Amino acid sequence: MLRLLRGVLSRAPLLALAALPCGMAQNDTRATGAAPLTLRAAIERALEGSLELERFELRLRAQDGRVASAALRPPFELRAEVENLAGTGTTRRFEGAETTLAISQVIELGGKRDHRRSAALAARDLIDVEREAAVLDAIAEVTRRFIHVAANQERLALTRRATGLARSTLETVQRRVEAARAPEAELHRARIALARAIIEEEHAEHELLTSRRLLAATWAATDTDFGEVAGELFRLPQVPPFESLVAAMERNPDFLRFATEARLREAELRLAESGARADLSLSAGVRRLELSDDQALVLGFSVPLFSGSRAQGQVTEARAQRELVDVEREAHRVQVLARLYGLYQELTHAVAEATTLTEEVLPEMARALEATRYAYERGRYGFLEWLDAQREQIAVERARIEASANAHLLRAEIERLTNTAVAAASGSGPDD
């Protein structure tokens, strides 16, 4: 399992999330000084503790036994016969008995042994490809949960900034009310805004705690023994050409499974066709004749009749199973191609949205908020205008978090479908 883990992590498409300082929920493991968790470390934990992957190891061991059995020749058979005994006359008791001791073996014709072993080996290859797909599924699930934790860390940090802004606003309003420059109703509104911000912060803390526990569950842990997750949520992935993703899609284990299954069905077809050729059974032994006190050699052979017609049904079934693989592969390709195209369009939109919010909207919102605060302090704007400006900025920052997290989630889904990493905007590769 450890060798498999090292091999997977050396080539697996991992989400490139580097260190990101974020706020953490209260009463969490950050208070104990736990180290930050990288995506690579999370994946290693999940793969090491995966019972599903352990199941594949047992299946491979079982198939190895089938391969060894398939490579065996038909066994020798020892046959003993006693004839002409316990009868009448010369055959009473054992006086006229004839005892035969012979060894026989089936000689397989048509390459049945080689075809049988090839089918067993192809079945083992299919299990191996299924294991690779299961590894990718596990990596994708850990990546999704890791992204959720990173996003929830940002959401908590945002709610804490919102709480701080609401508290600062309350202090400003209180000074204006005490100076008789604003009505007391504005003080009540400011207190309400602070209370709502505190509620939002508490909710964000619970969301973070839950997502952290779900991440720990991927390696069968019942508690979180790690600090904050380390990842740059706002480092957006690049959007590669769609054609390159389509080409990479064919290398996904889901598609390799069809190729491996095709080889298995072809081996089964050859094995079924070889059944049309009858096997030859040879025997040789010694016979003792009690009446004359003589011995003689006994030779024999047998061949089953009508083997070709009896094998026709198995050949027909095996050929249909082989053709079915091609049909299922094409149907799967159509479905995956449509899903990949949809994910690609969503990723393009999410990256564009996050980029626009970061580079254009948020700077304008910051300037608008500062101008509104300045105007409010000088009595040009009312409290509601200032409060609305604050809420708009928090909403834009929350939308930026959602768009960035969505871009990484879409990227992880594309990586799962294509079995390749989408480069981050900085051009760096997977996290080391």
**CATH number of the domain that residue 238 is part of:** 1.20.1600.10
Of residues 15 and 43, the one with the higher pLDDT is: 43
Q: What percent of the chain has pLDDT over 70?
A: 87
Single out the residue of 240, 202, 233, 239 nearest to residue 400, CA to CA: 233
Rounded to whole angstroms, the Cα distance separating 117 from 94 reads 48
- Mean pLDDT, residues 239-248: 87
Please name the residues in contact with 209: beta carbons below 8 A apart, sequence gap of 6 or more: 25, 27, 28
The confidence band for 88, taking pLDDT boundaries of 50, 70 and 90, is low
The confidence band for 112, taking pLDDT boundaries of 50, 70 and 90, is confident
Q: What is the pLDDT of residue 23?
A: 36
Of residues 137 and 148, the one with the higher pLDDT is: 148
The confidence band for 240, taking pLDDT boundaries of 50, 70 and 90, is confident
Decide if 9 contacts 40 (C-beta within 8 A).
Answer: yes
pLDDT at 248 over 90: no
Instruction: Please provide the average confidence, as pLDDT, over all residues in the chain.
Output: 82
3-class DSSP state of 35: coil
pLDDT tens digits, one per residue of 312-325: 888 888 889 889 88
Rounded to whole angstroms, the Cα distance separating 150 from 19 reads 11
Please name the residues in contact with 384: beta carbons below 8 A apart, sequence gap of 6 or more: 189
The confidence band for 132, taking pLDDT boundaries of 50, 70 and 90, is confident
3-class DSSP state of 208: helix
pLDDT tens digits, one per residue of 151-170: 999 999 999 999 998 998 88
pTM for this one?
0.76
Q: What is the pLDDT of residue 90?
A: 65
Single out the residue of 200, 195, 199 nearest to residue 167, CA to CA: 195
Q: What is the pLDDT of residue 28?
A: 47
Q: What is the pLDDT of residue 401?
A: 95
Of residues 427 and 83, the one with the higher pLDDT is: 83
The confidence band for 430, taking pLDDT boundaries of 50, 70 and 90, is very low
pLDDT at 344 over 90: yes
The confidence band for 91, taking pLDDT boundaries of 50, 70 and 90, is low
- Does residue 20 fall inside a structural domain? no
- Does residue 406 fall inside a structural domain? yes
- Does residue 423 fall inside a structural domain? no
Highest mean pLDDT among 106-115, 143-152, 286-295, 364-373: 143-152
- Does residue 428 fall inside a structural domain? no
Q: What is the pLDDT of residue 377?
A: 79
Split into its structural domains, the chain has a count of: 1
pLDDT at 222 over 50: yes
Q: What is the pLDDT of residue 157?
A: 94
Q: What is the pLDDT of residue 358?
A: 92
Of residues 93 and 374, the one with the higher pLDDT is: 374
Range of the domain at 140: 37-418
pLDDT at 432 over 60: no
pLDDT at 300 over 80: yes
3-class DSSP state of 105: strand
239-243 long-range contacts, Cβ below 8 Å, gap at least 24? Answer: 239/344, 239/347, 239/348, 239/351, 239/422, 240/422, 240/423, 242/341, 242/344
Highest mean pLDDT among 108-117, 369-378, 402-411, 419-428: 402-411
- Does residue 399 fall inside a structural domain? yes
- Does residue 351 fall inside a structural domain? yes
Q: What is the pLDDT of residue 209?
A: 94
pLDDT at 375 over 60: yes
Buried-state track 347-360, b at ≥16 Cβ within 10 A, e below 16: beebbebbbebbee
pLDDT tens digits, one per residue of 182-203: 788 888 988 998 999 999 999 9
Number of other residues whose CB lies within 10 A of the CB of residue 130: 18
- Does residue 6 fall inside a structural domain? no
Q: What is the pLDDT of residue 33?
A: 62
Please provide residue 85's backbone torsions phi and psi, each rounded to the nearest 5 degrees.
-135, 155
pLDDT at 208 over 80: yes
pLDDT at 173 over 90: no
Of residues 91 and 34, the one with the higher pLDDT is: 34
Please name the residues in contact with 145: beta carbons below 8 A apart, sequence gap of 6 or more: 211, 214, 215, 218
Strand order across the 280-289 sheet = 77-83, 98-107, 280-289, 294-302
- Does residue 191 fall inside a structural domain? yes
pLDDT tens digits, one per residue of 377-396: 787 887 888 888 888 989 99
